[in-house]
């Protein structure tokens, strides 16, 4: 909760303050404190069971946080914000009405919404105009997802919450979906989406939250998250296929955490690319076509969550009361991260 009387007009779109959620003995979410601002597009990432759906449930007022924590939307309670029509949601669960046409279902959502849009506009924005007369029960999985999206944007909400929105969509449907989503964000809406497709987070989000075992592990732009992971990829080619001794020497170079060989081509992952490359030349090697690149978001995500596993964030989400681990905010740590 904000300390002073924050008016709804100036309040953050979303504010979690020390929010936790316990199911029986399972601590699904611990001490989540995060603020989302109007107009931000935010991706929520995390391995299975990290607490993403729980976070969205708290956000939508479907569940209450444990005592001591709060969740506020636009300075009010989630339920109030939902009742006022400020939130549109696209969740994984919940069937659609099968026995009606797409247009009828979308029209119903527009009519019921306190600030409903014209049905034609919503059909257009969700890419449903061409299939508006189809029966909902006959749609493909990807088309059903588009209908769910239409229901989420049926009214003039200020916040759109999407749980795995592109599941079941093919490549071109996903591209169309994100184009439609960007149009929503461009209208000033705050968008929060949970996804397992890291490339979507990389492309669509201006901020990425990484959850791990119920704790916020990282919070920053995709570039920040990649920088936090620290590692870089080094690729080069040797004149000949390396023998076992040379391979062992490559693995032993400073900073190296992985080596892949394909004939004379070498790919390495290193936490200190400068030192690795320097040592490579000191071995007397002449790497050709040398390339040093940053990690993709997926590799960075795997590196961060793997590191958290190893450093004993483990256990915190499952009934343990370990010391709270501060989330990494790279934007505040630029001096110390590479």
Ligand X SMILES: Nc1ncnc2c1ncn2[C@@H]1O[C@H](COP(=O)(O)OP(=O)(O)OP(=O)(O)O)[C@@H](O)[C@H]1O
Q: Which residues bind ligand X (CB under 6 A)?
A: 23-24, 26, 28, 46, 48-54
Question: Where in 39-178 does DSSP place strands (E)?
Answer: 41-45, 70-73, 87-90, 159-163
Question: Where in the chain does DSSP place strands (E)?
Answer: 14-23, 26-36, 41-45, 70-73, 87-90, 159-163, 190-194, 207-212, 215-220, 232-237, 256-262, 265-270, 288-294
How far does Cα 14 stand from its chain's mean position?
A: 16
Distance of closest approach, residue 211 Cβ to ligand X, in angstroms: 6
Distance of closest approach, residue 52 Cβ to ligand X, in angstroms: 3
Q: 283: which residues sit within 8 A by CB, 6+ positions away?
A: 249, 253
Distance of closest approach, residue 216 Cβ to ligand X, in angstroms: 12
> In the complex with ligand X, which residue's Cβ is closer, 46 or 327?
46
> In the complex with ligand X, which residue's Cβ is closer, 24 or 95?
24
> In the complex with ligand X, which residue's Cβ is closer, 23 or 286?
23
> In the complex with ligand X, which residue's Cβ is closer, 207 or 213?
213
> In the complex with ligand X, which residue's Cβ is closer, 4 or 321?
321
Distance of closest approach, residue 199 Cβ to ligand X, in angstroms: 17
Distance of closest approach, residue 28 Cβ to ligand X, in angstroms: 3
Query: What b/e sequence results for 236-261 when a residue is b if at least 16 CB atoms lie within 10 Å of its CB, and e otherwise?
Result: bebeeebeeebeeebeebebbeebee
């Amino acid at each position: 909760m904000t300390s002073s009387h924050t008016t709804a007009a100036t309040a953050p779109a979303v504010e979690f303050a020390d929010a936790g959620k316990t199911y029986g003995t399972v601590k699904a979410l611990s001490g989540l404190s995060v603020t989302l601002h109007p107009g931000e597009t935010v991706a929520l990432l995390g391995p299975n069971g990290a607490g993403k759906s729980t976070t969205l449930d708290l956000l939508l007022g479907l569940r209450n946080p444990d005592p001591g924590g709060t969740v506020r939307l636009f300075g009010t309670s989630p339920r109030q914000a939902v009742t006022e029509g400020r939130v549109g949601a696209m969740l994984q669960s919940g069937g659609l009405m099968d026995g009606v046409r797409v247009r009828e279902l979308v029209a119903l959502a527009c009519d019921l919404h306190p600030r409903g849009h014209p049905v034609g506009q919503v059909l257009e924005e969700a890419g449903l105009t061409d299939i508006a007369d189809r029966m909902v029960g006959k749609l493909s999985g990807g088309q059903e997802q588009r209908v769910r999206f239409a229901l989420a944007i049926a009214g003039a909400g200020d916040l759109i919450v999407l749980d795995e929105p592109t599941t079941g969509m093919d490549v071109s449907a996903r591209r169309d979906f994100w184009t439609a989503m960007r149009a929503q964000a461009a209208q000033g809406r705050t968008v929060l989406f949970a996804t397992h497709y890291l490339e979507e987070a990389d492309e669509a989000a201006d901020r990425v939250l990484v959850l791990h075992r119920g704790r916020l592990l990282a919070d920053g732009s995709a570039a920040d998250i990649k920088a936090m992971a620290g590692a870089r990829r080094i690729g080069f080619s040797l004149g000949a296929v390396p023998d076992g001794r040379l391979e062992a020497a490559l693995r032993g170079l400073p900073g190296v955490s992985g080596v892949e060989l394909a004939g004379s081509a070498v790919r390495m992952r290193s936490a200190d690319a400068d030192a690795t490359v320097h040592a490579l030349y000191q071995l007397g090697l002449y790497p050709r076509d040398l390339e040093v690149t940053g990690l993709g978001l997926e590799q960075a995500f795997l590196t961060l969550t793997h590191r958290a596993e190893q450093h004993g964030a483990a256990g915190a989400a499952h009934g343990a009361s370990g010391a709270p681990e501060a989330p990494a905010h790279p934007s505040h740590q630029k001096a110390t991260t590479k």
